[in-house]
Amino acid sequence: MAERIEIHEVGLRDGLQNIKTVVPTDQKLAWIKAEHAAGVREIEVCSFVPPKLLPQFADAEEVTRRALAIPGLAVAALMPNLKGAERGAALGVHKLNYVVSVSEGGGSYPVPPPVPMYARAEMAQAADTKVEPGEQKLQVNLAMVFELQ
């Protein structure tokens, strides 16, 4: 049995993208600081999507910059495309998360369709160009919807 468990918190990003209310930046930071104080060491703080698609993340850069200033916090962000990866990499996020849908119903987010295969390599390259090697990671998550009968 493992002696250590790692929690990769996505509640802030995942929860906020599903509501219409735009939470003020300071409240997002209070959420992040409270989780960090409770022992969470990695938080997905935002999604680098166009604000017209998800106005909840219009402040993604500010939230990310302020989260990066919290000592001991690994800052992750979701990026749906190359531009999102470049925005996150430029800020120096520690982990860029990308979701690949492996079923028709998976990944039904209010963002543009999945990125073509050739662009995924470009996103990985963008993730490695702005910080020292080993300090930034590209994580790909597979989303799948199962139909129970």
Q: Whole-prediction pTM value?
A: 0.70
Q: Which residue has the tokens 């599903």?
A: 18
Q: Are 67 and 30 in contact (CB under 8 A)?
A: no
Handedness of CA 123, 125, 131, 133 (dihedral sign): positive
| Residue range 17-34: mean pLDDT, rounded | 93
Domain 8-143 CATH class label = alpha beta
pLDDT digits (tens, 9 = 90+) for 42-101: 999 999 988 888 899 999 999 999 999 999 999 999 888 888 888 998 999 998 887 765
* Cα 98 to Cα 122: distance, rounded to the nearest angstrom: 13
